[in-house]
Amino acid sequence: MDRERRLPPFADDALTVLTEAVGDRDSESDGLPKDEAKALLADDDRFSESDAAHALDMLDNRGRIYYVDDRVRITPTEK
């Protein structure tokens, strides 16, 4: 049984924005600088600056993203 908790819609939207941004880069493994990821979300009409910070925290706490040297990386999925 898959016991993974579902993300709230705003966090799922944030993950989509981040995944698309990382996918547009030459090397997905480099991720995005944390400040750039937060600014990218805040620039989206769906997120305020505090929403962006909350979404990053939630995605990190749920294991959907992780940080290496203050860079946001997307956790690989089997989907």
Each residue's pLDDT tens digit, 21-41: 987 655 556 789 999 999 999
Neighbours of 4 (CB within 10 A): 9
Mean pLDDT of 39-61: 95
Kindly indicate the confidence band of residue 1, based on its pLDDT and cuts at 50, 70 and 90.
very low
pTM: 0.83
- Report residue 73 as tokens: 């990386």
**Could you tell me what percent of the chain has a pLDDT over 90?**
73
Domains along the chain? 9-74 (1.10.10)
Structure-token match 């705003």, residue found: 10
Checking DSSP bridges between strand 65-68 and strand 71-74, what pairing results, if any?
A: antiparallel
pLDDT of residue 41: 97
